Amino acid sequence: MITPMYNKITQINNPYYLCHLFYPCSDGKLAYFLQLPTAYYFPTSAQLFYFRAVMKFTIAAQDSETKARAGEVVTDHGTIQTPIFMPVGTLGGVKAVHMHELRDFIGAQIILGNTYHLYLRPGTDVLEKAGGLHKFNGWNGPILTDSGGYQVHSLAAIRKIKEEGAEFRSHIDGSKHLFTPERVMDIQRKIGADIIMAFDECTPYPCDYRYAKNSMGLTHRWLERCIKRFNETECAYGYKQALFPIVQGSTYRDLRKESAEFIASMGAEGNAIGGLSVGEPDQDMYEMTGLVCDILPKDKPRYLMGVGTPANILEGIALGVDMFDCVMPTRNARNGMLFTTQGIINIKNEKWKDDFSPIDPESDCEMMRTHTKAFLRHLVHTKEMLGAQISSINNLSMYLWMVKEARKQILAGTFASWKKEMVVKLMTRL
């Protein structure tokens, strides 16, 4: 079987794509074949395929002064209006927040789970018996799962990377496991998220050029294996899943460009930018994000992984990113840091002890307009579980308000001036 040296994907009428394949000939030239969405005869030596669209993305508006855009992603579990922030439910649930609170108080449209952690606990056997993660956790909206690639980075002390995959020891009991691209696809098929991520290596920062280049090449080879396995399998629960590849390359412009071009050529339903927000200066993050967004297809959603502060997200939106996730709002909430529409509050500070004003009088969430700063400080100070719950709901509702307001401003044509004001206001310490 001859493998194509190069392919280019172009969309025609949904749900089909044209696949342009280039095959090596004995005289050194490339033979070209066009895969049509119906049965045509081609030489048996050519492995021909087409991509069936499983997720629809439309752009409703583009900001005239920045690259921000307002769009919609349609999945089998619902529609996501972009730009969007995805609360992180690493183990299937967002810490200290009920599913109905995510939906009714926070306004979440999609949540994120982690393949590594769900594989270890509760395990894919339990998730399969439940009928997938949606039925297991009771969330009826879209779900995205990370592939475990970030754990390859964060668990460096207990893992070993090789061409086959990443071998690691469980942080729970020390047991040994091997994640290959094929196995990660199989696990995510069993978890059943609407959007699943390709297996990659997230490089650390700082990272020398040679390591970053070799790691990027490994990520690309793993991606080809992910795509092959993905195309050979189906979701276990009867609905469609979309596979997003991930751009890597650390903070090196030439590597980011090469990786973005490679990822763009895959013709995936959406694309992600990984390996950022791992310690590099914000300006480097923005430079790499802008470079990559200029290369990735404009008609596909772009996902900036693991980002970040309110300012990071607003700057990312201005650069053309559509989707974000981060543990920051919930993790910081459990430590007493509140993100509000007025700025940042450390609720542990003495100054809030007898402040009986609402937590956030401008919040979309009624709970934040009802409870006072003094009451929340009391709960946090006495380590009442309700304190972590209210703080987490506050932070997530603010993040979802922020991206919803960004969308409104894009549609109204006023995003650039609004963003400039909000970046300062939302990051001000109160």
Question: What confidence score (pLDDT) does residue 153 get?
Answer: 61
Which strand (E) or helix (H) includes residue 375?
helix 373-381
How many angstroms from the chain centroid is the CA of residue 53?
A: 19
Residue 165 zone, left/alpha/beta (φ > 0; ψ -120 to 50; rest):
left
Taking the CA of residue 362 as centre, how many other CA atoms within 13 Å lie in the half-sphere pointing to its CB?
Answer: 10
In the sheet that holds 69-75, the strands lie side by side as 56-62, 69-75, 78-82
Q: Sign of the CA dihedral 257, 155, 393, 104?
A: positive
Tokens at residue 230, please? 């993905």
**Using an 8 Å Cβ cutoff, are 14 and 53 in contact?**
yes
Distant-in-sequence, close-in-space partners of 101: CB < 8 Å, separation ≥ 6: 393
* CA-based nearest residue to 215, from 258, 172, 183, 271: 258
Domains of the chain: 1-53 (no CATH), 56-327 (3.20.20.105), 332-426 (no CATH)
Q: For residues 243 and 269, is the Cβ–Cβ distance under 8 A?
A: yes
Residue 408 tokens read as 């409104």
Q: Residue 9 has what pLDDT? A: 45
Note the pLDDT tens digit of each residue in 284-332.
Answer: 999 999 999 999 999 999 999 999 999 999 999 999 999 999 999 999 9
Mark the ranges of the chain whose per-residue pLDDT is less than 50.
1-18, 20-50
Sheet order of strands, 30-35 included: 6-11, 17-24, 30-35
Q: Which residue's structure tokens are 């020891």?
A: 169
Residues in contact with 71: Cβ distance below 8 Å, sequence separation at least 6, in sequence order: 57, 58, 59, 60, 81, 82, 301, 322
Determine how many CB atoms are found less than 10 A away from the CB of residue 30.
Answer: 12
Count of beta carbons in the 10 Å neighbourhood of residue 48: 16
Whether pTM exceeds 0.75: yes
Which residues participate in catalysis according to the annotation?
146, 325
Token pair listed for 112: 């994120």
- Listed residue (122, 120, 104, 102) closest to 112, CA to CA: 102
How far CA 391 is from CA of 272, 310, 364, 376, 418, in Å, comes to 29, 16, 14, 8, 26
pLDDT score at 154 = 62
In the chain, DSSP finds a helix count (H) and a strand count (E) of 15, 20
Q: State the DSSP string of 391-424.
A: HHHHHHHHHHHHHHHHHHHHHHT-HHHHHHHHHH
Distance of alpha carbon 272 from alpha carbon 268, whole angstroms? 10
Residue 171: the pLDDT is: 85
Element (H, E) at 22: strand 17-24
Give one DSSP letter per residue of 144-158, joined into a string: EEE-SHHHHHHTGGG
Q: How far apart are CA 172 and CA 122, in angstroms?
A: 12
Looking at the DSSP bridge assignments, the partners of residue 323 are 84, 303
| Rg of the chain, C-alpha, whole Å | 22
pLDDT of residue 156: 62
Q: What values do phi and psi take at 104, rounded to 5?
A: -90, -35
Cβ neighbours, 10 Å, residue 78: 13
Output DSSP code: residue 307. Answer: -
As a whole number of angstroms, the distance between CA 291 and CA 303 comes to 14
CA distance 402 to 427: 13
